[in-house]
Structure 1
Amino acid sequence: MTTKQPIIFCDFDGTITNSDNIIAIMKEFAPPEWDGIKNQVLAQEVSIKEGVGKMFALLPSSKKQDIKNFIMKHAEIREGFAEFVSYAKEKNIPLYVVSGGIDFFVEPILASYISSEDIYCNSSDFSQNQISIVWPHTCDNSCENDCGCCKPTIIRSLCKENDRIIVIGDSITDLEAARLADQVIARDFLADKCKNLGIPFSSFETFFDVMEILKKSEVRA
């Protein structure tokens, strides 16, 4: 029997960072109507792509540097993440960050941890009056959820038949990826959704927890 090769797909906002950076940006810079859009996304009344696009369209492009400075100052990396990255390297486990976040803050925050080649997120355009989001990782023919950054599509493009897919996440953007996973490590909204839908998962608060979960999986394998 061939042992499956683990491959990790890890969310960014609210997973690698302690809080959701898009929500933090909206609270600080957006007019009040952003909150109604967010609620529509969480209730799955509008797609993630539509919702995120609408929220950022509320922000003037002239605020780019102010927004970047704000999020670089306030974003906190979850405890144990640096050690988790080292653990994955030591075990030769491919680690990809798949994020519904935006390049202008995801990539700088992760620069000292993860190669940009291993980060999949949305892009941004500040050339017009309002911020526009660009979608380089849209859904393939097997997904009709209008994800924006389609995590299932990225998983399908990177995984081989013998890979054991591990998904780590916290939010609605991780749900479809969790449905594809062999192992789900979840917190917050994603944990609640998995519980409600009967998707097996392990809970975590820090990346030290994640490492312990993965080590136990190694023993079972």
Structure 2
Amino acid sequence: MGGNVSFREALNERLKIVQPTRQKVADFLSQHPPQFTPGIKELVSSLSKRGIPVYLVSGGFQSILVPVAEQLGLPVENIIANRIKFYYNGDYAGFDENQPTSSSGGKKVVVETLKNKHGYKNLVMIGDGATDMEACPPADGFIGFGGNIIREKVKQNAPWFVTDMQELINEMKE
């Protein structure tokens, strides 16, 4: 995605090539169970115990994120990601172009929607990518995360940058 096509167009072209069927997605999930960054389960649990809702906002696919949410104890409704559409026979039928995450700037739209819908006064985005950082504002804060991959743009521009979830867990304890 060298900037010549929109995120949605690139997503559409990639999915046309891959042609993900319902069976291919199921096979992928069975062969590649979720792997978690150290500390993420504890962080999500700690936030949840404090009554702080946690959302998974991703340019990836909801069907891939469902097992992640389940293992983190998050309701599936808290996944905001792209949705692959299938025909009744399980063949690929396209993707839901109404999902804000299917377009450039979509995470910003998601944050605005969450704040308006739920009245959140303090919404913090944690992420490793530029699109996560671009969602602040309207997010009230952004924490850059480099525990899996360090993206220099995020590291240089995030108000707070961590490489270990334990740092966030420790901060909550203070």
TM-score by length of 2: 0.76
The Cα offsets for residues 68-113 of structure 1, whole Å up to 9 and x where unpaired, read as 3224432312222221121012222121111111122111332232
Query: How many Å separate the matches in 1 of 2:155 and 2:166?
Result: 22
Q: Which amino acid aligns with 1:120?
A: I
Alignment length (residue pairs): 166
Q: After TM superposition, give the deviation of residue 45 of structure 1 in Å.
A: 3.8
Q: Where do 1:1-221 residues align within 5 Å?
A: 40=1, 43-62=2-21, 64-74=22-32, 75-112=34-71, 113-127=73-87, 130=92, 132-138=94-100, 146-147=103-104, 150-159=106-115, 163-188=121-146, 191-196=151-156, 198-205=157-164, 207-213=165-171, 215=172
Q: After TM superposition, give the deviation of residue 129 of structure 1 in Å.
A: 5.9
Q: In 1, are the aligned partners of 2:129 and 2:154 still within 8 Å (CA)?
A: no
Q: Name the % identity.
A: 23
RMSD of aligned residue pairs (Cα, Å): 3.0
Q: In 2, are the aligned partners of 1:57 and 1:131 still within 8 Å (CA)?
A: no
TM-score by length of 1: 0.62
Q: Which amino acid aligns with 2:63?
A: F
SS in 2 for 1:121: strand
Query: How many Å separate the matches in 2 of 1:59 and 1:200?
Result: 38
Q: After TM superposition, give the deviation of residue 159 of structure 1 in Å.
A: 1.5
Q: Which amino acid aligns with 1:134?
A: D
Relative contact order: is structure 1 or structure 2 higher (C-alpha 8 Å, sep ≥ 6)?
Answer: 1
Which consecutive unaligned segments of at least 5 residues does structure 2 have?
none
